[in-house]
Amino acid sequence: LLDERLVSNSQSCGANRKCHDAAIRQWEESAHHFSASTPVFTILLGVMQDEKGEEGARFENYAAAELKARVDLWNDSQEDAYGLNFVRSRDGLETDFLITKNGAPWLLCEAKLSAGPVSSHHYRHSAALGGVPFAQIVRQDGVLKVENGGFFTISASRFFA
């Protein structure tokens, strides 16, 4: 994990020398600034790295940031209210992301490093949420598969384009 002290207190560069004022303002308003100073986030990142490996955790974090940016854009530009959540069943199986629209399930997403079969618990989560579509977003390029009508495996480069 990145030591918070390595990325915090950089305000002195902008405040004292005025050389990076715009960058400092952008940093102070960003989720990265908040995350770097939040012990809960750093603990969760450590757990995610232990479970998925550093590369998998990094890709999931990338997908989360991309989805959050889109949810924020939709909320700012549309009348509907979107949210970004996750799903975990009582048996501990998880789908990485659930996008809601006006409080109702709208899209399930799972971040994976490479294409593979959709795990059966994602089908169960979709069914429990009323048949909501599912996208398995993979780092691997050139992937687009459709299974059972509403289950997609798609490259991140295509999904986030």
Q: Are 135 and 146 in contact (CB under 8 A)?
A: no
Give the count of beta carbons closer than 10 Å to the beta carbon of residue 78.
10
Q: Would you say residue 60 has pLDDT above 50?
A: yes
For residue 144, report the phi and psi dihedrals to the nearest 5 degrees. -155, 110
Name residues whose C-beta falls within 8 Å of residue 61's C-beta, 6 or more positions apart in sequence.
Answer: 45, 48
- pLDDT band for position 57 (50/70/90)? confident
What's the predicted TM-score (pTM) here? 0.68
For residue 71, report the phi and psi dihedrals to the nearest 5 degrees. -60, -45
Given this model, what pLDDT does residue 28 score?
Answer: 58
Residue 92 Cα to chain centre, angstroms: 19
* Percent over 90 (pLDDT), the chain: 57
Scan for tokens 């770097």, then name that residue. 36
Q: 22-26, 66-70, 103-107 — which is least confidently predicted?
A: 22-26
Given this model, what pLDDT does residue 11 score?
Answer: 44
Given this model, what pLDDT does residue 118 score?
Answer: 95
